[in-house]
Amino acid sequence: MEIRVEKHVINEHHEYFDECKHLTWLSKNLYNATLYCVRQQFIFNKKYIGYYEINKKFTHRNQHDYRQLPSKVAKMTQKLVDENMRSFFGLLKLKKEKGYDRLIKLPKYLKSDGLQ
């Protein structure tokens, strides 16, 4: 089976560079805002907020970064947080079951001046 990939390189001279940079900045902000809500709920209430619940919360609150991004991109960004948290919980379970001795930490925020 052959897998084909199409790659588009958008450097600073490309006509869509500024738009792509702005969208990746908004995506980073949405990732951090989503992760903040999920982490706070987990740390203080020992409860995990899944993708559907957090997505509902952000849409009803009209969260700025969520509304600025295309719907599909915003949802995929929040699903990425969900995947990262589920991976964290999987490692915790592995630690309990098999005595996994690596230090397990909550997913980290993306850099405030960075992009996603």
Segment 76-85 mean pLDDT: 95
Maximum Cα–Cα distance for the chain, whole Å?
A: 52
Question: Contact 115/24 with Cβ under 8 angstroms?
Answer: yes
Question: Which amino acid type is present at position 35?
Answer: L
Distance CA 7, CA 94 (A): 37
**pLDDT digits 0-9 by tens, 3-49:** 999 988 889 999 999 999 999 999 999 999 999 999 999 999 989 99
The domain limits of the chain are 17-98
Query: In terms of DSSP H, where are the helices of 2-116?
Result: 17-45, 51-60, 64-68, 71-98
